[in-house]
Structure 1
Amino acid sequence: MVGAAGLGSRLDGTVSAQLMRLMVRSARAAGVDERQLDRVPGTGEVLLSGELNRLPMRSLLRLWELIAQARPGAGSGAAIAAAAPLGTLDTWDYLVTTGASLADSLRAAQPYHRLVTAAAEGFDLSGDSDLTIGYRTTADDPAVASVVNEYVLAYYLRRAREATGRPLVPTRVSFGHPAPADRAHLITVFGTDSIEFDAEADAITFHADDARAPLPRADPMLANLMRSHAELVLASARPVADPLDAFRIALAAALDAGDPSLARVAKTLAMSQRTLQRHLAEHDTSWRDELDLLRYERAKALLDQGNSTATVAQRLAFSDDRALRKAYHRWTGTTPTSRIE
């Protein structure tokens, strides 16, 4: 069961790369300027492409702010859910759709909510018969919170419909924010005019018959497998807590691509070389030192796997195997050949 104190503290204040990818796409669709996106930490392609990367919650909240500013009013949150088909949020999406029933799926998935977002973002389930899903965002700005909560409730309605294979209609939808001037779009999205505003909680409720009906896609073995996978994903997650974490991920990707230059890494991180060097200096390191350490660790692993010095030199972007041998002697006082022997 997820819940170790060490794991919780390590992932506190972070969200999944999958959710961040969805939000970056949504920000672009809402018309947010690319220059504004570039200034949001954790939105670079190399960071978003790492399935195990955990990005700062503050960056997610900034994206929500930009979307709320670019597309204010009712409907902007629901539009994000409409652009997120099953599988968008990876493991979480399948956890909430493969149980015996909708209620069983959500209750089994609840302990793994950190797969998607930070633990501080509240995900609640209640009801002895009808099933109510509640959400509490940490966004302080009411205008931003209204977009977040609209997305979340629309997301769970979409997943419920995908899980059951039926156009479910909730018995009740409630929002903590005031009623918009025009509710027509929300009535269309949720399929009901039973929408309450200025409520005590942001929540969506499903009738007991819908919540407990057997799911067509129910698969007990897959559900157990997804929970095991969720444990593994959480245990293997890589928090990107500061610029140094982001730099190391970008540097490793650049080395894989054969060009670990300062210029390439800085461009990947959407910052100037001077700014990147300053960030590294604040952490008592440098591009050259980090590249040297990464090459040393990679060289040891590749040589242990039986690769030739020529192959290792090429993989680590050395000019030739002579340059690798020279670096290896500096690192260890020995030669790569003696290590292999």
Structure 2
Amino acid sequence: MVSQAQTHRGTNSAALTRLSVNAARMLGVPASGYAQLLGVAPEHLDDDRYRAPAATTNRIAELTTGHAHWSELALVLAQQPGLGTLGVWDYLITSARTPLEGIRDAAAYLATVVDPATDTLHIAEDGGQVTVTHHNRADVAHEAANAIRAGALGIYQRRLSDAAQRHLVPVRVTLTARAPRRLGSLTELYGTRAIAFEAPASSVTFLAADLRAPAPRAQPGLSAVLRSHAEQSLAAAIPLHNWLDLFRTALASVHDGAAPTLPAVAQRMNLSTRTLQRRLDEHATTWSHEVETVRRAHVTRLLRTTDLGIDAIAARSGYADARALRRAVQRWYGTTPHALRQAPEGG
């Protein structure tokens, strides 16, 4: 068991957050939908010491499945990352004596990539077959969950193929999702039509002989070095998950063109509304102040990055009409929406 894993419950690696952001970009999701989420700022996204809230990557997946089918997102998530994209975790698989030993190391150190509170990887040998099962229990919308689970299986398949230095075709794949009307993305992803849907768990099964064969990349003693490096990476990581950060991520995630409500955010955080208000008091802030801050950032971003009219921006920001929006911008900046739109950023 990885000694540092519990410290990082509720967070994912910066590498995984980058993977999610890149997939969103590739599938046409406007950056305005996720740029304000904790962990997406360049100083966090581009620094592998930081771990973003799992809520951030889950939200990006939800936004992406609003633009593309979950099977398309799974394909992009699995095909995008080259070897090393996910850091030391990738090399744990490809540098072990056999691919099977590598995926076992990857299961033990899964916390270097994903949230150890919600994600686990289980390896089962049954005679001539080995099944790799991914469990994800995150509080995320159904379509996004389908994409995350299916994409994870594709990444395991790709890394095992990297370890074997040849394309490994699964014996079968099982997915918890319902079968989509078109299987093209999934058959391209796994290289097989042997896919079962509405299964109890998401898994990919290989011939045991394929995973027990010596790995060409294996180097004596390297796996032990990589395991130590994985421990050190977890020890040095900086989790972005203090309570106020988590609250602001949850608040931003429910701000979808309408005024966010206290009950909706409380439900997202699995808290009662009374407890949520008490925690805000403890952090010297208020619900109205936090909502105003989110609205201000949202309105400012729409004014500076889109050509939407004032009426449309008001509607997307939870204001009754353009007049209410103009009053808010005057209060924040002492100017009009038109002048703010024309002013250079930072000015």
Common fold by TM > 0.5: yes
Q: Displacement, 1:284?
A: 6.5
Give the Cα–Cα distance (whole angstroms) in 2 for the partners of residues 245 and 131 of structure 1: 41
2:31 counterpart residue number: 34
Query: Is 1:123 the counterpart of 2:145 in the alignment?
Result: no
Give the Cα–Cα distance (whole angstroms) in 2 for the partners of residues 30 and 188 of structure 1: 17
2:21 counterpart residue number: 24
Secondary structure of residue in 2 paired with 1:41: coil
Give the Cα–Cα distance (whole angstroms) in 2 for the partners of residues 47 and 207 of structure 1: 40
2:74 counterpart residue number: 77
Which of 81, 84, 89 is the matching residue for 1:87?
Answer: 84
2:205 counterpart residue number: 205
Count of residues paired in the alignment: 249
Contact between 2:79 and 2:189, CA under 8 Å: does it hold in 1? no
Amino acid corresponding to residue 127 of structure 1 in structure 2: E
Query: Is 1:114 the counterpart of 2:100 in the alignment?
Result: no
Query: Is 1:158 the counterpart of 2:155 in the alignment?
Result: no
Q: Displacement, 1:230?
A: 0.5
Question: For 1:26-78, what per-residue CA distance to the aligned partner results, in whole angstroms no more than 9, with x for missing partners?
Answer: 11111111111223221101011221111101111101111111112423211
Secondary structure of residue in 2 paired with 1:70: coil
Q: Displacement, 1:199?
A: 1.0
Secondary structure of residue in 2 paired with 1:85: coil
Q: How does 1:190-269 map to 2 (within 5 A)?
A: 190-242=190-242
Question: For 1:92-111, what per-residue CA distance to the aligned partner results, in whole angstroms no more than 9, with x for missing partners?
Answer: 00011111111111112322
Give the Cα–Cα distance (whole angstroms) in 2 for the partners of residues 104 and 198 of structure 1: 29
TM superposition score normalised by structure 2: 0.67
Give the Cα–Cα distance (whole angstroms) in 2 for the partners of residues 24 and 31 of structure 1: 11
Question: For 1:216-267, what per-residue CA distance to the aligned partner results, in whole angstroms no more than 9, with x for missing partners?
Answer: 1111322111111011111111111148889xxxxxxxxxxxxxxxxxxxxx
Query: Is 1:100 the counterpart of 2:100 in the alignment?
Result: no
Q: Percent identity?
A: 34
Q: Spell out structure 1 runs of 4+ moving beyond 3 A.
A: 242-246, 281-285
C-alpha spacing 1:2/1:74, structure 2 compared with 1 (3 Å): closer
Unaligned 5+ residue runs, structure 2? 247-280, 286-347
Unaligned 5+ residue runs, structure 1? 247-280, 286-341
Contact between 1:124 and 1:133, CA under 8 Å: does it hold in 2? yes
For the pair shown, the structure with the greater C-alpha radius of gyration is 1
TM superposition score normalised by structure 1: 0.69
